[in-house]
Amino acid sequence: MTLSPTGAGYVPALGTLLADLRELVECESPSSDLAAVARSADLVARLGATRLGAVPERIVVDGVHHLRWRFGGSRAKPRVLVLGHHDTVWPIGTLARHPFDVTDGVLRGPGCLDMLAGLVMALHAIAALPSRDGVTLLVTGDEEVGSVSSRSLIEDEARSASAALVLEASADGGALKTARKGISIYELEILGRAAHAGLEPEKGVNATVELAHQVRAIVALGGGGTTVTPTAVVAGTTANTVPAAARVSVDVRAWSTAEQERVDTALRALVPVLPEAGLVLHGGINRPPLEESSSLPLFRQAQAVAARLGLPGLDRAAVGGASDGNFTAGVGTPTLDGLGAVGGGAHAADEHLLVDRLIDRTRLLNALLLDLLGRGVVGN
């Protein structure tokens, strides 16, 4: 890489970026395999120690390995949280079917876009800072399964930060993610009573019929950008028995906290339609929304930084999927998401990224960090 005294001329070494990314992709790290996640953490720690000149703090919660580099101590102000994860959705063995490959400027491999490239970009962009004081890099190991063990860690770090930068992949064409829907996850349990379906069905309370009534009521709660989606359903035991129990999972996505709370209240107010049927609601609000009010000032700052450096112009997008940026925004920390690689096919066999965009995206992250830390950026 090259680096001017102000950092404005920083250009990452593409070969080194790709070499680091290849190591991470080829170290398969499905969230559900704790041994694989631990091996991945070992690799991230080694690469990070090489690039950053510091060994991370390893935090193990419920068997999941998370890594944290905190530079400059708690007195360094302002403090910027850079957030990523090293777990992926791909099971061990995927690499044999979808190996790491770079052809015609397109890089493929399990987890390359979501979000191993963003993690590599973070290591290189932070390494190129003239001073890292004020930067915290947090790399978690369970984002793809809901960040159950890392949520408190993420929220605690965010509360002490003036800004959070999330290295998830960009939206289409490189757009930064300035809004994400919040997620609520529920399971509605229906209680009925079994009876012989041929001899005396009238003595039963049909949980499947009650389920049908409830699904109609649940779907009616959506609208105005809020989605309320019944998903997995289980009902009954045998073909000739009035079902005594049924369950339906419900996925709720909303742009605002007010909408999340409206749907939550409505679901808790559901009542049975059939006499003697019962309802038990499990679950609740899982991730708060990343509302645009939390991210627009940072987005405008990133636009200005990109313009000063002559980097590609930045667009913004609102997306339905959630990330750990929902948690940082939820505790009131200004948050900008989608700063990672540009590509497509996340969680799909066609997962890929555009190699030439790794350079400008890493430069943007480095320069935005400089700006946020108060050291300024000098344009070309």
Catalytic center residues: 87, 143
> Under a CB-based contact definition with an 8 Å cutoff, are residues 90 and 110 in contact?
yes
* H-only helix segments in the chain: 14-25, 34-52, 94-97, 117-127, 151-159, 207-219, 257-268, 292-309, 325-330, 357-372
Sign of the torsion formed by the C-alpha atoms of 68, 69, 74 and 76: negative
- Listed residue (51, 110, 134, 40) closest to 373, CA to CA: 134
Structure token digits, residue 38: 């631990």
Query: Is residue 21 a contact partner of residue 86, using CB atoms and an 8 Å limit?
Result: no
* Helix 34-52 × helix 14-25 angle, to 10°: 160
Rounded distance between C-alpha atoms, residue 47 and residue 60, angstroms: 19
Which amino acid, residue 32?
S
Residue 150 identity (one-letter amino acid): S
> DSSP character for 218?
H
